[in-house]
Structures are given as C-alpha cells and as structure tokens.
Amino acid sequence: MGEKQSSLGSYIEELKRRKVVRVAIGYVVGAWLLLQVADATFEPLNLPAWSTTMVLWLLVLGFPVAMILAWALEVTPDGIRRTKKRRKPVRPSSISAPGSQAEHSIAVLPFVDMSPDKDQDHFCEGMAEEIINSLARIQGVQVASRTASFQFKDTSIDIDTIGERLNVNTVLEGSVRKAGEHLRVTAQLINVEDGYHIWSEGFDRELKDVFGIQKEIAENVAKAFKVSLAPGTDEAVEKQPTQNMEAYEFYLRGRRHFYQFSDYGWKKAREDFSHAIDLDPDYALAYAGLADCFSFIYMYADSAVSVRLQAETNSRLALQLAPDLAQVHASRGLALSYSTRQNEAEKAFERAVELDPKLFEAYYYHGRHAFTKGKLEKAAGLFEKATEVRPDDYQALALLAQVYRALGQEDKRNEARARTLEVIERRLQTTPDDARALCFGSVNLLEAGQTEKGMEWLERAKTSQGDDALNLYNVACVYSNIGEIELALDCLEKSIRKGMAELDWMMNDSDLDNLRDHPRFKALLPEGSQ
C-alpha cells in the first residue's frame, strides 16, 4: 500500500510539473465559457439546433488531445519543445570525497566559436577555463573540472544528459565572436532539471576587456546561486596577467596544447608560451607554462640536463614576476622536484596551497613528488586532497588507488579503485581514445577481475597513442601487473629510449614490482640505486 501511495504521489507531482492540471482546469473553464457563448449566439444567428451539441462533442473530444499535448510539450522562452523527463535530484557525486557537500553544482562548457574564420577554439576554451577557475574558489559550489566539462565539446549531447553524467544541477554555456579587436560574448546559465535559463546576457566589448567579461560572468553565476565570489577576485582582475592581447592568445593556445598530455602537445605548447613571452617579457603565467612544458618534456620525452635547467630557469623568472600567484609556486615546485633542491620544492608546493587551497596542481604535483621519494603515506594524503579539489580527475584517483595498494590498505584501495573506474568510464563515454585513461582503467579492471574488459582497454590504449614514451610506460605497467614480464620490459626499455626520465618514479612504482629482480630491469637503473 505504501509503495502504491508513493507512486500515486509521484504521478500527481509529475502532472503538476508538466502543468497538466493547470491546462485541464483552463480547458474546462474555457470550454464552459465557449458553450455559454454558443448558447447565447447560435439561435440569433439562425444556426441549426444541433450546432451547440456539435461544439460540446468537439470540446469533449479535444480534452484528451489537450492533456496529451500538455504532458508531452512545454512552452519556453525559446519556443515550444518536448517536455524533459524528470531527473533525479542531483546529489553530491559518489566520486566526491566523503563529506564534500555542495548546495550548487555547475559545469562550464567550452564556449562555441562564432567567429567568421572559426579559428578561435583556443580563445573559447580559455574563457571557459578562466570562469571555471573563478567559480571553483567559491565555498559551497561544486564545479566540474575542465577535463570533465570539455569532453562534451563538439558533441550533440543535450544539457539534461550532460548534467546527469557530470552530476551537476546547472550548466553554463555560451559563444564567442571575435572580429579584429571587437568581442561579442554571450553566456547563459541553464537549470538542468527543467532546461530553463536562470540567467543570460550578451557582452559587446573591446578585446582588451576580456578579463572583465570573465569576471562579470562569474559574478552573475554567483548571484544566481546567492553566494559571493572568493575574496581577492576583484584584485586578480585588476592585476591582469598581461596587457598584450596577442600574448594572451598565444598563452591560451599554449594551455590548449599542454592539456593534450603528449610529447607533441608539450612541444607545441612550448612554442606558444615562448611567443607569448616574446610579446610580453613580463608575462609570469607564460613563464610558468613554459616551465611546466620543460618539466614534462624532461620527465617523458627528453632527459637532457639542459631541459631540466630550462624548467628551473623559467619557473624562477615566473616567481620573480609574480610571487603571489599560486600557479607560479606549483610550477616552481614541479621544476625543482627533479633536481637536488628538494627542500625548496617542498616549500614551493606548500606556498602554492597557502595562496590557493583549491589549486589542484599544488596537491597533484606535490603528491607525485612525494611518491618518487617513497613517501607513500604523504603521497596518499596529497592525492586525497587533489581528489577533493577535483573529484572528476582520474589521474589523482588512479595514483591514490596504487599508493593504497603499495601500503597494503586494501579497503581504501578498493574504494579508490571503484571511484577511479567510475570517473574513467564517464571520461571514455565522450573521449574513447584517451590512452592514459585506458591504461589506468585497464590496471584497475584487471585487479578487479574484469580480465576481458581490462585487456580490451589495454589494446585500445596501444592503438590510440602508440609509441609515445609515456604511453609505453603505462602499457608496461599493465603488462607487469598481469605477469607478462618480457612484454613489460620491451615497452619499458623502449619508453626509456624515447626519453622517459622518471627513474625515481620507476624505483617506487608498485606496478613494476614483478620486474624488479629481472636482469633487464636492473640494467635500466643507475648504478647504486638497485
């Protein structure tokens, strides 16, 4: 009986939501008025006696049609469209850290390029990323990460589905039209449950006002949520990272290439950041971006000492120009973590967190550093913090699961593994060729006993990115875990020949434990490190 009452109550609520009850009442009232008019006018107009009866029957037959249309369609500011199905209320994501509650949640999609030449993708993505960064600092607002939101770029997936996959109750979308020095930006905040606009606005400005537009959009979203932007946002906008808009565009191109997470992407990003610096020699974030490129190139593509020194030099220049920027300190810590200046690296990471407790890179880079030094307990804590800041990032989660395995903490390992697979499954729905996600997922699937699916993902990873040094290393880790020792060593040797330089990581990577006693593995390590 209780279930029947609950179902009946839900059905009535759905009738109300779709405005069927309101339409029914309106229809009955309108029909009654129409009959009154017919009764009063048909006789004076000498219409047949059966005319009133015909009107009555037409109204009766029209009633179910009106109810069906009321159920299926809705009138919106954008016209008549099909009524969306009721979604389950958005709850804090199951992939979020325990206790992380957020009253409001939002995904910021890459803005659509409406420019005449359709060549402003980097600008559209950069604008969305800056808004994400501003909103992520608001207490009580859960913001989907760049990686999670941007996977829906150039897809035809509707807002309702995006909201469900990212577990958010609002979506911000917009468009950018850039012509010379003129900028036209539109933005709209949409309620996922009913599809209605909560807020929308257009901005016609000069290109130099782009930072102000980003701030205004973030402010309007905050107002819609009835919260405030984090302290210091105004100051951050007033201290624009650069006054040179051409340099800013090269910086945005660099960020876009950097996020490809490949040797090719980092090298292209290095060129873009260098162009930005040529145009504005005081552009601190461009120096930090350049430092990050050299750090990752050193790790995975070119282990020359000169590359590491370039990372250190550019991070130092960034720090001199902007000592109060958290991102600069995180980049400095990453660059120093591959030198002998370990204490300075630690201090840089800690300073980054002090300046911005919600900066993902501060925890993620620091966690990787702790891992390479064998400080597994510390690495676990830092990766946990990274997942709290960005719960939809699979990299920190996958490394967290691995650290818990190395520590022998099976319960925590199983929980982290489940969270990792959930995030990766979501990622692969729209980015099926993400080789790094496929490798991380493969390891966790195989550990969970899902052998067939795990091997399928491994083959997809090998096909997707082939002989990239980082991909070869990740494939070697999977082979090592399943006991394919020779195949693992083949991939590992090839990865090192292609520039993989993270030997400290190899020495502490539990994924390679099955290889450690093999002569071929020992030959890969420096003398005295075995």
pLDDT exceeds cutoff 90 at 44: no
Rounded average pLDDT over 127-132: 87
Residue 316: exposure state from Cβ atoms within 10 A (0-12, 13-18, ≥19): middle
Q: What is the pLDDT of residue 15?
A: 59
Q: What is the pLDDT of residue 78?
A: 44
In a domain, 159, yes or no: yes
In a domain, 178, yes or no: yes
Do 159 and 47 fall into the same domain?
no
Tell me the HSE value of 112 on the side-chain side, using a 13 A CA sphere.
11
Rounded average pLDDT over 12-22: 63
Looking at 69-83, 87-101, 303-317, 514-528, which range is the least confident one?
87-101
Residue 345: CB atoms within 10 A of its CB come to 22
Which pTM was predicted? 0.75
Do 71 and 142 fall into the same domain?
no
Domain stops at, among 238, 267, 296: 238
pLDDT band at residue 50 under the 50/70/90 scheme: confident
Task: Compute the C-alpha angle 362/368/373, nearest 5°.
Answer: 125
Tell me the CA distances in angstroms from 461 to 130, 458, 466, 467, one per residue in order: 31, 5, 8, 11
User: Is pLDDT larger for residue 7 or for residue 343?
Assistant: 343
Per DSSP, the residues of 302-330 read: ---HHHHHHHHHHHHHHHHH-TT-HHHHH
pLDDT exceeds cutoff 90 at 23: no
Q: What is the pLDDT of residue 76?
A: 46
pLDDT band at residue 99 under the 50/70/90 scheme: very low
Rounded average pLDDT over 365-380: 92
Rounded average pLDDT over 260-269: 86
Do 44 and 120 fall into the same domain?
no
CATH code: domain of residue 142 = 3.40.50.10610
Q: What is the pLDDT of residue 527?
A: 60
Rounded average pLDDT over 135-139: 79
Which 8-state DSSP code applies to residue 259? T
In a domain, 311, yes or no: no
The mean predicted confidence, pLDDT, of the chain is 83
Alpha-carbon span 27 to 70, nearest angstrom = 11
Do 227 and 118 fall into the same domain?
yes
Do 114 and 208 fall into the same domain?
yes
Residue 211: CB atoms within 10 A of its CB come to 18
User: Is pLDDT larger for residue 257 or for residue 505?
Assistant: 257
Q: What is the pLDDT of residue 282?
A: 95
Percent of the chain with pLDDT over 90: 37
Q: What is the pLDDT of residue 269?
A: 94
Do 173 and 234 fall into the same domain?
yes
In a domain, 95, yes or no: no
pLDDT exceeds cutoff 60 at 236: no
What digits encode the pLDDT tens for the residues 417-440? 999 999 999 888 878 888 889 999
Do 167 and 226 fall into the same domain?
yes
pLDDT exceeds cutoff 50 at 98: no
User: Is pLDDT larger for residue 227 or for residue 451?
Assistant: 451
Do 62 and 148 fall into the same domain?
no
Domain stops at, among 215, 238, 261: 238
| Token pair 């389950």 in the structure block, residue | 88
3-state secondary structure of 202: strand
In a domain, 144, yes or no: yes
pLDDT band at residue 37 under the 50/70/90 scheme: confident
Q: What is the pLDDT of residue 75?
A: 53
Do 201 and 121 fall into the same domain?
yes
Looking at 27-31, 89-93, 478-482, which range is the least confident one?
89-93
In a domain, 440, yes or no: yes
User: Is pLDDT larger for residue 30 or for residue 438?
Assistant: 438
Q: Which residues pair with 201 in a beta bridge?
A: 187
Do 458 and 495 fall into the same domain?
yes
Query: Could you give the number of structural domains in the chain?
Result: 3
Q: What is the pLDDT of residue 242?
A: 86
In a domain, 330, yes or no: no
User: Averaging pLDDT over each range in 151-155, 349-353, 495-499, which range is the top one?
Assistant: 349-353
Rounded average pLDDT over 290-306: 89
Do 524 and 448 fall into the same domain?
yes
Residue 478: exposure state from Cβ atoms within 10 A (0-12, 13-18, ≥19): buried
Alpha-carbon span 364 to 283, nearest angstrom = 24
Domain stops at, among 179, 209, 238: 238
Note whether 349 and 369 are within 8 A (CB): yes
Alpha-carbon span 370 to 382, nearest angstrom = 9
DSSP H helices in 182-283 = 210-224, 233-238, 245-258, 263-279
Note whether 284 and 325 are within 8 A (CB): yes
User: Is pLDDT larger for residue 39 or for residue 235?
Assistant: 39
Rounded average pLDDT over 300-316: 90
What range defines the domain where residue 61 resides? 2-82
pLDDT exceeds cutoff 90 at 35: no
Do 52 and 123 fall into the same domain?
no
In a domain, 423, yes or no: no
